[in-house]
Amino acid sequence: MVSDRDVVWRQCVRLGRSVLPLVDQEPWRAAKRRERLGDWGIDVKRGESLIATFAGLAIHSVVVDATAAGLPRTDGTLNGIPLTAVIEATAAKQSHEILAAMPTEYADEEERASLDYFRLLSYQGGRTGLWLPRLRTEVRHSLITLSGRARRSGPTCGDLIRWAQRSGLE
């Protein structure tokens, strides 16, 4: 039996995986991001997978915080989660805070590998220890870019879901 928590997690993962394709509707953004990843010594495929994971975890952390605070989600989905709250979470929360309440079951091998690697990076030092702060910047920038595209103020995760659906990503 799938719990509500698992359903919400799956929604967060799908939405996190939609962020870069939505940003990349302006193709120059992908080229620029891939150049930065290369400059930082991060493999592009791995870096983009980690960005998607980071976005999903950030969304999930906002949902978990709202639930813990007793704030109702408008309709049992991510629709009412303000995008600004996710943007703030990417800036304010440390990696280990974003990992809180991470599931122990995974939908697929890609999800498991990316989450395990994210967890490992959150404890790394040296050059590799710089990856998560840099990826955090990419996630934040991507979300700000998407927020800026909204036709109305205060876009929500529900808006992101609709954009992803219209783009054939959902």
Tens of pLDDT, residues 36-48: 999 999 999 999 9
As a whole number of angstroms, the distance between CA 43 and CA 113 comes to 15
CA 135 to chain centroid: 10
Q: Give the range with max mean pLDDT: 6-10, 61-65, 77-81, 139-143.
A: 139-143
* Coil vs helix vs strand at 82: strand
Is pLDDT larger for residue 20 or for residue 114?
20
* Coil vs helix vs strand at 36: helix
Whole-number percent of the chain with pLDDT over 90: 46
| DSSP one-letter code for 167 | T
In this model, does residue 76 exceed pLDDT 60?
no
Could you tell me the pLDDT band of residue 59, with boundaries at 50, 70 and 90?
very high
Average pLDDT over residues 133-145: 94
In this model, does residue 134 exceed pLDDT 90?
yes
Range of the domain at 9: 4-166
Q: Where are the beta strands (DSSP E) in the chain?
A: none
pLDDT score at 150: 85
Is pLDDT larger for residue 30 or for residue 74?
30
Amino acid residing at 31: A
The whole model's pTM is what? 0.89
- The total number of structural domains in the chain stands at 1
